[in-house]
Chain A
C-alpha cells in the first residue's frame, strides 16, 4: 500500500499545479498566437487577417516610439541603478561603519512600496509650486545662482509633465528611487562573501585601493552584477504603471513616456483590439528573449576572461 501511495503521491501533489498551468498558461499561450492572426473588436467579433497585425505593427510609428522610449529608459535605468547601488553598497560595506542595518533598510524601503504607490507619491512630489522636488530645486539653484550667476535659477514652477525630456526624467527618478536599494541589498550580500584573504594577498603584493577594487572586488561581484543587470533589464522593459499613473492614465507629453506594455494595454483594453494587442505581446516577448540571451552571453564571456 505504501509503495502504491508513493507512486501516486507526486502526481496527486502536482495535479492542481498542472491543471492551472494547462488552463491559465499553456492554453492562453497557444490562444494568443491564434488571436494575433485576427482582427478583433471586443471579445466577440473576430476576423482572420493572417500576418496582417504583424505587418501593421512594423509600420506603426506609435509602436516604434514605444519601443524606442522603453529601450532608452531601460538602458539609462540599468546603468544608473547598478552604478549608484554599487557605490552605496561599497560605502555600507566599510567594516567600521555604524548603524549599517538601519541604513540598509532606509535605502531598501521604497522597494516595499511598489510601483503604483511610488507613482502616486511622485505625482505630488513633482507638483508645481508646492512639490518637494520643485521646492528643493528652487532653493538649491537659487543659492547656486547667487554664487555663480551662469547657473540658472529653476524657480518652483517646473512642469514635469509638460515637456518630453522632463517627463522621461521624472519616470526615471521614480524608477531609480524604487529599485536602487533592492539592487544594493544583493551587492552588499555579495561583498560580504568576498574572501578576505584575497585582499590581504593583494595588499602584500602592493596593490593600491583602486587596484584591489579592480582585481579582487569587481571580479567577485561580476556574477551578482550580471544577475541584477538581467533582472533589471527585464523589469525595466515591462515598465507600465510608473508613467501610467504619473501622467494620469496617459502616455505623457507627445507620447514621451508611452511604453510597449502601455501600448499593448491601450490597444487591447481601451481600443478593444485583442488581436493587435496579442501581436504586440509577441513582438515584446521576442525582444525580451533576444535581450536576455545577449546579456547572458555577454556576462558568460566576461567571466571566462
Chain B
C-alpha cells in the first residue's frame, strides 16, 4: 500500500483552514467593540477582557432582530412542511397509478423546469396584488407550495416502491391515502430528508421575492431585515453587530444540516451521479 501523503495532507488542511478563515473572522468580529476592529485582525490577544456581548445585546434590544428570526423560522418551517407533503403526494400519484394524461403531465413538468422563474416575477406580483397579499406571508407560502422539481424527485424515488407491497396493504383494507403515508413515504426517507433540507434552506435564504412583497419592517424575515441594516448612514450600524446578526442567521441552517446530512448525501448525490 502507498505511504501516507504527508505533503498533500498538509496542503489540503492549509487550504481548508483558509477556506474557513472568514467564519472565524466573523465569530471574532461579533464579539469586538468598534475600536478593536482597527487594532486587531482577529482577537485583541493582549487584553481579552475587551471582548463584549454588546453587539448581541444591541441586536436584540435596538433592532427587531428577534422578530425577524421568528418570522424566518415560521416561513421556512411552514413552507417546508407544505411543499414536502404536496410534492410527495403528487409524486406518489405519478409513480404508482396508471391513468390517462400521466405521460404528458410529466413531459409538461420537465418542460417547465427549463423556464427560469424570474420571468414570472412581474405577472405574479400583479396577481398577488389583486389578491391583496402584498405584505402578507400568503404571497410567499402559497406560490411556494408548488415545486415541480420536488414532485419529479418523489416520482423518481417512489417508483422503486414494490407494487406488491402496496397491493398487500390494499388487501388488508388500507385506503389509498394510507398507502402514501404508511408505505411510500417511509420507504423514501432519504428523499424526504434531502428535500426537507433543500426547501428549508431555500426559503431561509430567499431574497428577491420577499424583497418585493414584504414591505413592513415587522414583516421582514432575516435576509431582508439584515440587509436593510447595511449601507444606511442614518443607522450607522456597528460592524460587530452586523457580524453577530449574520452569525445568528446562519446557525439554524447549519443545525438542520447536521441533523439531515446523511439523507442529503444519500438522496441528492447518488441520484445525480448515477443519473
Contacts and interface: CB of A to CB of B under 8 A. Distances in A.
Interface of A: 2, 5-7, 9-11, 13-14, 16-17, 20-21, 23-25, 27-29, 31-32, 35, 43, 88, 91-92, 94-99, 103, 106-107, 109-110, 112-117, 119-125, 127, 129-130, 132, 135, 177, 181, 185-186, 189-190, 193, 224, 227, 234, 237-238, 240-241, 245, 248-249, 261, 264-265, 268-269, 274-275, 277-278, 281-282, 284-285, 288-289, 292
B5 interface: yes
A35 B230 contact: no
A241 B122 contact: no
Nearest to B18: A136
B270 interface: yes
A124 B239 contact: yes
A17 B250 contact: no
Interface stretch (B9-17, B47-55, B57-65, B188-196): B9-17
A296 B175 CA distance: 43
Contacts of B257: 112
A236 B207 CA distance: 16
Nearest to A132: B25
B163 to A, nearest CB: 12
Interface string B1-41: 11111001101110110011111011001000000011001
B84 interface: no
- Binding site secondary structure of chain A: helix
20 contacts: A5-B176, A13-B180, A16-B145, A20-B142, A21-B148, A31-B126, A32-B122, A106-B20, A109-B20, A114-B205, A124-B242, A130-B38, A132-B21, A241-B207, A264-B121, A274-B125, A278-B123, A281-B120, A282-B119, A288-B114
Nearest to B232: A248
Given A27-B127, A29-B115, A31-B123, A112 B239 contact: no
A13 B93 CA distance: 6
A11 B98 CA distance: 11
Given A124-B242, A281-B119, A189 B19 contact: no
A7 B176 CA distance: 10
Contacts of A177: 19, 22
A125 B208 contact: no
Contacts of B4: 96, 98
A117 B226 CA distance: 9
The residue in B4, B123, B204 that gathers the most chain A C-beta atoms within 10 A of its C-beta is: B123
Contacts of B97: 6, 9-10
B114 to A, nearest CB: 6
Nearest to B85: A16
Given A14-B94, A234-B116, A248-B230, 5 more contacts: A5-B175, A14-B105, A186-B273, A240-B207, A289-B114
Given A98-B9, A107-B19, A269-B125, A9 B119 contact: no
Interface of B: 1-5, 8-9, 11-13, 15-16, 19-23, 25-26, 29, 37-38, 41, 86-87, 89-90, 92-94, 96-97, 99, 102, 105, 112, 114-116, 118-127, 129-130, 142-143, 145-146, 148, 151, 170, 175-177, 180, 201, 204-205, 207-208, 211-212, 223, 226-227, 230-231, 239, 242-243, 246, 249-250, 253-254, 257, 265, 269-270, 272-274
B223 A117 contact: yes
B114 A25 contact: no
Contacts of B92: 13
Contacts of B21: 132
Given A120-B242, A135-B41, A94 B146 contact: no
B12 A92 contact: yes
Contact of A20 (B12, B115, B143, B239): B143
A21 B37 CA distance: 51
Contact of B208 (A88, A112, A234, A240): A240
Contacts of A189: 265, 269-270, 272-273
8 nearest interchain CB pairs?
A114-B205, A248-B231, A281-B119, A20-B146, A10-B93, A13-B93, A9-B176, A32-B123
A265 B209 CA distance: 10
Contact of B246 (A96, A120, A129, A238): A120
B273 A193 contact: yes
Contacts of A32: 119-120, 122-123
Nearest to B270: A189
B205 A28 contact: no
B269 A186 contact: yes
A91 B269 contact: no
B126 to A, nearest CB: 5
The residue in A24, A99, A110 that gathers the most chain B C-beta atoms within 10 A of its C-beta is: A24
Contacts of B22: 110, 121-122, 125, 132, 177
A104 to B, nearest CB: 9
